[in-house]
Amino acid sequence: MSRARVARRIAAGAAYGGGSIGLLGVAAVGVLLAEVALAKKSVGGGVAPLPPGSDGRYGREYGSEEPLRLALLGDSTAAGQGVRRAGQTPGALIASGLAAVTERPVDLRNVALSGARSDDLERQVSLLLAAPAGPPDVCVIMIGANDVTHRMPATQSVRCLAAAVRRLRTAGTEVVVGTCPDLGTIEPVYQPLRWLARRASRQLAAAQTIVVVEQGGRTVSLGDLLGPEFAENPREMFGIDNFHPSAEGYATAAMAVLPTVCAALGVWPEADRLDVARHENMLPVAKAAAEAAKEAGTEVTAARAPWALLKHRRRRRLPVPGASATPGVEPGTEPGAEPAAEPGAEPVLPEERGQDNGQRDTSAPLPQD
C-alpha cells in the first residue's frame, strides 16, 4: 500500500474515531522492542541539560513597534533540550530570524515540554489561549517522535494534533507544524530497527500533514535532513547526550522552519508562486503529504480542496540579532552572546541550498527524547 493511502487511512481513522490502524504489525513491534533495548545502550552517552528558558522579547533594536507574538509547542525539540543558552534554542532562533525579516520585535512564549506526546498539546494550547496577551500571531508545533517511540496509536496521535491546530486556527493564529522527524537517521540505531523507525515516522509525518492542512495550517517536513550531517559530524550535530541536537543542529532546524513561519504571516521576501524548476507542484493533499515525507524541508499548505501546494522555499541566511532570553536584557549584552545586528539590517542575498545546485538540502535536525 502506498504511503499516501496509508496516511489517508490514518487521517480518516482519526477523523471518524477509529483507533485500530497501527503503524507496525505485531511481529514488527516485537522486533522493534528488542532493538530498542539494544539501542538504549548506544544512545545517550551523557545527561542533556534541561531546556533553558527562552521566553521574552527578541529584536528590541527594531524599536517600539507592536511586537509580533510567536509561540512554540511540542516536545524536547521545540523546547530546545540539549543546549545551555537560551539563544541556541529553536524558539529563540526563529524569533530572532522573524524579527530580522519583519524589522519588528517578537515576543516569544515556549510551552513545549520535553518528553511530550501529541496528547499533551491540549494542555499546551490551553496555556497559550488563557494568556492575558491573547492568542499568538503564529505558533510552531514540533511533535511526533515520542508518539512513535512510545507506540501511541497513529490515529490518536493525529487526532490530538488536528484538535490543537483547529483550536489555534479558530482563535486566529497561524500554525506551522514541523512534522515527525525520520527516526531512522539516528546513527547508533541498527537494522531492522532503523528501517521500522523510518517507516513508522514517515507514515506519521504524512498523516500529520493531511490533518494539519485540512485544518488550515502549514507543515514543514523535518524528515532526514540532517542524516548526512549527523553521519559526517556526529560530535557537532549531536548534543552532550548523543541524542538531542546540538546548537548547530537546532540552528539547522530553525532555518528550515523560519521561511514557512514568515510566509504564513505574509512577510517572506519571495513571491508565493510555484517554481517548476524547484519541483514545486499542486497535488491532492494525500499525495502531497507522502511526497513531503520523502523529501525533508518540503512545505505543504492548503490550496483549493482537495488540493495542496508543495513548495521548496529558497532559504536566506539572516543577520540574527543577539537574542536575550530574559525580558529587559538588551540583545547582545548577555554573557557570551553574539553582537546584535545593526537596526534595520537587510537580509543577505539568498543562498541556494540543495535544490538548485543538485545537492541534497540539509537544513533541519533529527531530534527527540
Residue of 54, 76, 96, 114 marked catalytic? 76
Ordered mean pLDDT values, 10 residues apiece, the chain (369 residues) = 66 56 49 52 53 88 90 91 84 94 95 93 96 95 89 92 97 96 68 75 92 95 65 54 67 88 89 78 91 88 88 67 42 37 35 35 36
- 241 labelled catalytic: yes
Domains of the chain, earliest start first? 3-18+27-311 (3.40.50.1110)
- 272 labelled catalytic: no
Residue of 42, 119, 241, 356 marked catalytic? 241
- 244 labelled catalytic: yes
Full-model pTM: 0.76
Q: How high is the pLDDT of residue 330?
A: 37
* Cβ neighbour number for residue 84 with a 10 Å cutoff: 16
> H/E/C letters for each residue in the chain?
CCHHHHHHHHHHHHHCCCCCCCCCCHHHHHHHHHHHHHHHHHCCCCCCCCCCCCCEEECHHHCCCCCEEEEEEECHHHHCCCCCCHHHCHHHHHHHHHHHHHCCCEEEEECCCCCCCHHHHHHHHHHHHCCCCCCCCEEEEECCHHHHHCCCCHHHHHHHHHHHHHHHHHCCCEEEEECCECHHHCCCCCCCHHHHHHHHHHHHHHHHHHHHHHCCCEEECCECCCHHHHHHCHHHHECCCCCCECHHHHHHHHHHHHHHHHHHCCCCCCCCCCCHHHCCEEEEHHHHHHHHHHCCCCEEEECCCCEEEEECCCCCCCCCCCCCCCCCCCCCCCCCCCCCCCCCCCCCCCCCCCCCCCCCCCCCCCCCC
Residue of 54, 120, 244, 369 marked catalytic? 244
Q: How high is the pLDDT of residue 64?
A: 79
Q: How high is the pLDDT of residue 219?
A: 96
Q: How high is the pLDDT of residue 80?
A: 86
